[in-house]
Amino acid sequence: MKLYQIFLLFAVVLSSTACSNWIYRIDVPQGNFLDDRDVKKLRIGMSKEQVIYVLGRPVVKDSFDHDTWYYVYDMKRGMSKRGKDFQKQMVISFEENKVAKVEGDFELSEDFNTPLDE
């Protein structure tokens, strides 16, 4: 009788672990999702208000350096068959409240170094 209970318990445990792929897990996006079309609208010399209009407010502003903004997007996949986890980021540096430098995982437009007409 004892052997039968152990075998039944073992069968239940194995069958429950086999169903783990049936459980739906959601993707968890966090941060600023930046569209490539919006990033290509950035130009050197844009004001902070213009950057907010184009990209939205940054996720992180440096507490000690108000002229550095961080746009970070983090995607945690719930299920591996939908792709891998990834993170994209962009750092915008300002000088005298104007865009001076942009670094990160996004490709800037060819016109980035051409300032907007004021």
Query: pTM of the predicted model, to two decimals?
Result: 0.73
Q: What CATH number should be reported for the domain holding residue 72?
A: 3.30.1450
On whether residue 3 sits in a domain, the answer given is no
On whether residue 92 sits in a domain, the answer given is yes
Separation of alpha carbons 79 and 27, rounded Å:
8
On whether residue 36 sits in a domain, the answer given is yes
On whether residue 20 sits in a domain, the answer given is no
On whether residue 94 sits in a domain, the answer given is yes
Separation of alpha carbons 110 and 3, rounded Å:
73
The pair of three-digit structure tokens given for residue 76, joined into one six-digit string: 């945690």
For 37, phi then psi, to 5°, come to -65, -40
Report CA-CA distances (Å) from 118 to 12, 38, 57, 93, 97: 71, 20, 22, 20, 14
Separation of alpha carbons 27 and 64, rounded Å:
33
Total structural domains in the chain? Answer: 1
Nearest to 73, CA basis, from 55, 54, 86: 86
pLDDT tens digit sequence for 53-111: 999 999 887 788 888 999 999 989 888 788 898 899 999 999 999 999 999 888 888 88
Look up the domain containing 66 and give its range. 27-104
